[in-house]
Structure 1
Amino acid sequence: MNIKVSIIIPFYNCPFIGQAIYSALNQTYSNIEVIVVNDGSTIHQSNIHKIRKMKPFRYFEKRNGGAASALNMGIKNATGKYIAWLSSDDLFERSKIEKQVLFMQQRNLSISHTNYSIINKAGSITNPRAGTSYAHRKIFSKNLLKTCFINGCTVMMRADIFKKIGFFDEKLIYAHDYDFWLRAVQYYTFGYINQPLTRYRYHEGMGSVKNNTALVQEANRIRTKYSPIIKNFFNKR
């Protein structure tokens, strides 16, 4: 099991970026590259610069364009067969990549997600098992149309997925991940590891809290767009 995994970490003015990078670098799985994309940050860059000499660390800078554009830049520069995404305020458990690669290889999966825990600003766990999933693909898709229950930082996927369905939609500011999952489910079955392998940090400074109203509105537009497409897709099967 020597498949290379690229871990993409978009970064914009986040004080937790150093912790996120260390959690990615300190994986029990060795064949990784950690790609940090600085999306026009104006503060907290010093938390990156003192880590940049560590291997296997790669660093890119760009003008601010949003998380989707930062993810896409990282993906387009990735050299791994598998892609994982880690938000700059979240953390990977040390065995996350190792367990997920093995899981996907054993089941010949192109995409999977895992359970996750929720932590607060200080890093204390407030919910040890916050994730959910559905075994049957049709039920999975039906519930995904209701709400985005997939935590993006728990996802691992083959890099060739992006050739099939495209990249994250950079016109979407908040719910680009939701849009991507609704495209992906039309082609792939999402595997699920019922273990909390990511720590999702919930704090007042996160974008989904500060911009919750706009996020909900964008998600509703995405739901309206894909609802007839996915329902028609499964009706034909």
Structure 2
Amino acid sequence: MSDQPLVSIVIPFYNCPFIDQAVASALQQTYSPIEIIVVDDGSTLHQEKLKPFLSRIHYLGKSNGGTASALNYGIRMAAGEYIAWLSSDDCFYPHKVATQVQYMRERQALISCTDFNLIGPFNELMMPSLAVKFPSVRAFFSAMYTFCPVNGCTVMMHRSLPERVGYFNEALSCTQDYEYWLRVFLANVDFHYINETLTAYRWHEGMGTRQRKAVVDREFSRVRDHYAPQMNSFLQAMP
């Protein structure tokens, strides 16, 4: 019997035409054992694209509540020791889970993120190695005053992390990831970076980041301003 820990891949899904490609990439992982949890957040389109995969995934339906609520539902239902988030329009490269699990087990890490490529709607490579590289943890954290330096779909967390820092903030419609990473840092959890391209992040007309940019900007400012006093104190205490 394998001593490899179970990994849960949680895929929030709402009317995304790329959902089949996301699920296929999760199923093509070289790692085992995995479970794939698709959380349908009240979709009215593209559910038929999941039919070929239903025997190999956990398909959970819920009323529409946004990405944070879908993520939280999936995380609570997950049985894995490690949990990875995959957006329904992105893809994992086949060795993503295996590489990240090995890294995290060797270092007893609670959370890690990785480099990623930017792809287009037809899977064409638009830009390789898009993650910003920082010379220090201090520089990494300082960047969070101006932008979110972590792509959520590169993240893997240990299942104990939500017990320590909580779940995603469901009051935020676009920046639940940014707010969560801030809480991770402020809880003094080491945020590990793996300098390897393990995820394909898709840029397309229907993506929420493009359609709701004004909302993203407003939420970002509100979250940053809320945490600014804690961020300032945290930064001052860093070497």
Report the TM-score when normalising by structure 2.
0.95
- Whether the 8 Å contact between 2:116 and 2:200 is mirrored in structure 1 is yes
CA offsets per residue over residues 28-58 of structure 1, 9 Å max, x none?
001111000000000100011221012xx11
Secondary structure in 2 aligned to 1:113?
Answer: strand
What does residue 192 of structure 1 align with? 193
AA of the residue aligned to 1:112: S
- Partner amino acid, structure 2, of 1:231: N
Q: Distance in 2 between matches of 1:61 and 1:49?
A: 14
Partner of 2:207: 206
The residue number in structure 2 matching 1:111 is 111
Measured after TM superposition, the shift of residue 236 of structure 1 is 3.9
Mean CA deviation greater in 142-151 or 92-101 = 142-151
Alignment of 1:122-201 (within 5 A): 122-186=122-186, 187-201=188-202
Aligned to 1:83: 83
Preserved CA contact (<8 Å) 1:116 1:131: yes
Query: 1:13 maps to what in 2?
Result: 15
More displaced stretch, 167-176 vs 101-110: 101-110
Letter of the 2:55 partner, please give it: K
The 8 Å contact of residues 133 and 149 in structure 1, kept in 2 or not, is answered as: no
Question: Equivalents in 1 of 2:221, 2:123: separation in Å?
Answer: 31
How far residue 104 of structure 1 moved from its aligned partner, in angstroms, is 1.0
Q: Which residue of 2 aligns with 1:47?
A: 49
Could you tell me whether the CA contact under 8 Å between 1:5 and 1:84 is conserved in 2?
yes
- Report if aligned partners of 1:40, 1:62 keep a CA contact under 8 Å in 2: yes
- Structure 1 counterpart of 2:199, one-letter code: T
Q: Secondary structure at the match of 2:55?
A: coil
Instruction: Look up the match of 1:220.
Output: 221
Equivalent pair of 2:113/2:155 in contact (CA under 8 Å): yes
Distance 1:232 1:144 in 2: 14
| Alignment RMSD (CA, Å) | 1.1
In structure 1, C-alpha distance between the alignment counterparts of 2:150 and 2:13, rounded to whole Å = 21
Q: Does 1:101 align with 2:101?
A: yes
Percent identity over the alignment is 44
Structure 1 gaps of 5+ residues are: none
Q: Counterpart amino acid of 1:22?
A: A
Partner Cα distance (2:84, 2:133) in 1: 18
**Unpaired segments ≥5 residues, structure 2:** none
Q: Counterpart in 1 of 2:59? A: 59
Q: Which amino acid aligns with 1:7?
A: I
The 10-residue stretch of structure 1 (113-122 or 136-145) with the greater mean CA deviation from structure 2: 136-145
